[in-house]
Amino acid sequence: MLRNIVQSDTCVPLGMYRRVSMDKTLKGVASTWREVEEQVKEQDEAIRHLVATDPELQRRGGVLVRDYCDNDTPASDPFIVRDDFEALLRDLEAGVIHGVVFLHSDRLARLVYDAARICRVFEMNPDYIGRSVEGSVDLSTVEGRGMFVMQATMGNMEIGNIKRRTKRTNGRIARKGAMHSAPRAFGWGDDRKTLHETEAPFLLKHVRAVPGGLKVGTFRTRLVEFGYTPQLQKNSRSEGRREVQHSVAEEILTNPRNAGFRIYVPQDVRRSSGRLWLPDFIVNDPEGNPVMGDWERICSVDEFWACVNEIKRRKDDRKEGTQTEVHDTNVKYFLSGIARCGKCLSPMWSNPYTPGTSSYEKWGFRYACLTNQGGCGGVTRCGPPVDDLVEEAFLTGTRQGLGEAVEKAAEEVDETIHDARLSEINDEIDQVNERRKARRISMSKALDLIEELEQERDQLKKKKGNLSQQKKKRELLSPDALGEWPTLSMAEKRARLTQSIKSVIIHPMGRGKRFDPEFIEIVWREEDDEGTGATKAAATAE
């Protein structure tokens, strides 16, 4: 809140710096704005009284000409820029003002780095005035600058101690499962414990839909349509309604809170890690079991991990370059990448007709074997009739017997086959630690053994997650599950389709001929195929 106070050509121009903060103990009890106003008034009166009564300032003709005030801006956080503090430094260096008066050194600087920047200006300008109302700091003297830096150093040490105690306390609270102070999460009411009547069902529906193919981009679009508005972060410069970012939508879906898990992310980790994968920060009790929070949960534990594992798999596939189709967070075409050319067996991709042509008006797009994607370029076919044919064959096959085979296959998936070994690994880690404490093995040997066991545990947890995810996908092909087919997104339909159909072969049929289903071959997954293990149903499109 920089403002001019008075202009003078004959006196020494001074700035007054104030930093005011909301009292956190008054949040929800008293008006925080009133508390800030009182601080502004108190500091203003104290500084003006010093300037008006101090003999040295009166002798040199010190006059306040500028007011610098940072409202609710910590001086102890190196990640936060204080706008008026930076303006004060610029004006001191430029000679706009020849000094500054402040309440106490901790109001002006609480980091040694900031104190050094102030001292540098006063060392370069020995005639500048720098006085504190409290603390006896005089920046125009060597002793005063030494006192100023020392006070900043001691303040910085106390800040470090407070942060360490806070981190330890927050970790202890997290291990008890108690809720920590935080903004209201999407899906819960203002008390952050009971479920929101509209947000919770909306979130549950989409958590359950992710293993069935729902894309995070689709969920993001629906979040916007639902009316969700992200909370503006403190000190954000964005104006108006902020756009929902992809990472925000992903974080809502993968928040362990959805399943009742308690998480704890230290502030230093949150700042240094960029985007966080929240499932990695679930708090465990001494026995290694996840700590459950004291709030109502959105979904079951199995539903949560099925959602998380699917999103993690997609991220890993993109990172390793093993995805089978072009990455798209919001799929638009039913068979793009699934259909294959009958001449060269290369994947066929959606390709729009030229706007304004009769083909564009009638069909909109076609599937084409594209030379720039490694194909022969010899086969194209109008898209909608192919989509309709395959969709009808898939739904007919599912209703006539494919669903029963998949349901049976899902029952045969045992998600608990790795539980016994996971329990053994935890016991073995405890045994290694006991042997180390008894000095029967060295620290180096203990670390080697524990790292091997941890690696095996991580692999088994991943396999367990894949089994749960596989079972969930198989269940999506039951006739009952397909009852919601018309409401599914295109990505969800594709995910269900590929559980029972390996590919759709589009054979060449010559130019100018009408669409003929005989030239479309559906390749069903057989019992020994990787995937659902479902058998081909005796179903063909009429």
User: What are 14's strand-pairing partners?
Assistant: 64
Whether residue 17 has pLDDT greater than 90:
yes
| SS3 per-residue string spanning 79-101 | CCCCHHHHHHHHHHHHCCCCEEE
Percentage, residues of the chain above pLDDT 90? 20
pLDDT of amino acid 340:
92
Decide: 334 and 485 in contact? Cβ < 8 Å. no
How far is Cα of residue 537 from the mean position of the Cα atoms in its chain? 43
What residues have CB less than 8 Å from 421, skipping those under 6 apart?
Answer: 460
Decide: 473 and 214 in contact? Cβ < 8 Å. no
Read off the pLDDT of each residue in 93-105 and give the average, rounded to a whole number: 92
Smallest CA-to-CA distance from 294 within 384, 435, 207, 192 is with 192
pLDDT digits (tens, 9 = 90+) for 406-416: 555 555 556 66
- The residue that leads in pLDDT, 452 or 23, is 452
235 confidence band (pLDDT: 50, 70, 90): very low
291 confidence band (pLDDT: 50, 70, 90): confident
- Determine the Cα–Cα distance for residues 73 and 81; give it in Å rounded to an integer: 8
Domains and CATH numbers, the chain: 3-162 (3.40.50.1390), 199-320 (3.90.1750), 339-524 (no CATH)
Whether residue 468 has pLDDT greater than 70:
no
Read off the pLDDT of each residue in 262-290 and give the average, rounded to a whole number: 75
Q: Which two tokens stand for residue 346?
A: 């290369």
What residues have CB less than 8 Å from 209, skipping those under 6 apart?
Answer: 488, 489, 492
Percentage, residues of the chain above pLDDT 70? 76
Q: Which of 78-82, 180-184, 250-254, 392-396 comes out lowest in average pLDDT? A: 180-184
pLDDT of amino acid 442:
86
Whether residue 28 has pLDDT greater than 60:
no
pLDDT of amino acid 295:
87
**Could you report how far apart the first and last alpha carbons of the chain are, in Å?**
75
- Determine the Cα–Cα distance for residues 79 and 72; give it in Å rounded to an integer: 14
Q: Which two tokens stand for residue 74?
A: 């910590």
pLDDT digits (tens, 9 = 90+) for 30-55: 444 455 677 778 888 888 988 888 88
CA angle 427, 430, 435 (to 5 degrees): 125
